[in-house]
Amino acid sequence: MRHLYTWTAILAIVIASVIGDVLLARAMKQVGDVHAVWRRSGLWTVIGRILSNANFFLGVSSMAAGFFSLLFALSWGDVSLVAPAAASLTFIGNACAAKIFLHEKVDRRRWFAAVLVAAGVALLAG
């Protein structure tokens, strides 16, 4: 039962993280380069643009769900399993989601990198 709880929480972390990352990435692309906007219009303009973006709040909400799933998972499983397993699966999920929803050009180089990083993170858990 302990393993079931742990892996259910890991799955919840992955789903919430991928949704949160995609929404946050979309929101920040809509805001523009933070440093450039800050230099040109000031910090309050940056904050105003971020806080007026609906995708930002949806992304943060999703990441909050992922965070509490992480706390739940850490209370049942070891960090050496939870963190790498969730991170590995999130890498692959994010590569797919970025290609589909953010229209990023995920070429062979990035797919290869995502698989390498996911495998590396999994090995670190061993």
Partner 1 sequence: MTFRKYLVLAGVTVFAAAGDSMLSHGMKQVGNISLHHLSSVFFAVRNPWVAAGIVLLLAFFAAYMNALSWADLTYVLPATSLGYVLLALIAKFVLHEQVSPLRWLGIALISGGVGFVAGGPALTSHDKAHRGTANRVGTAAQACPEPAEGDCPVERSSAATVDSRNETPCLATNRSDGAPEPDARAIPGGVGS
Is residue 121 a contact point for partner 1 (CB under 8 A)?
yes
Q: How far is CA 48 from CA 5, 34, 45, in A?
A: 40, 12, 5
Q: How far is the CB of 61 from partner 1 (least distance, A)?
A: 13
Neighbours of 10 (CB within 10 A): 25
Q: Which is nearer to partner 1, 16 or 98 (CB)?
A: 98
Is residue 44 a contact point for partner 1 (CB under 8 A)?
no
Owner of token pair 């049942």: 76
87 with 120: CB under 8 angstroms? Answer: no
Is residue 50 a contact point for partner 1 (CB under 8 A)?
yes
Q: How far is the CB of 60 from partner 1 (least distance, A)?
A: 9
Cα separation, 12 vs 55, in Å, equals 20
Q: 13, 14, 85, 98: which one contacts partner 1 (CB under 8 A)?
A: 98
Q: 10, 12, 16, 31: which one contacts partner 1 (CB under 8 A)?
A: 31
Q: How far is the CB of 106 from partner 1 (least distance, A)?
A: 6
Cα separation, 82 vs 11, in Å, equals 10
Is residue 10 a contact point for partner 1 (CB under 8 A)?
no
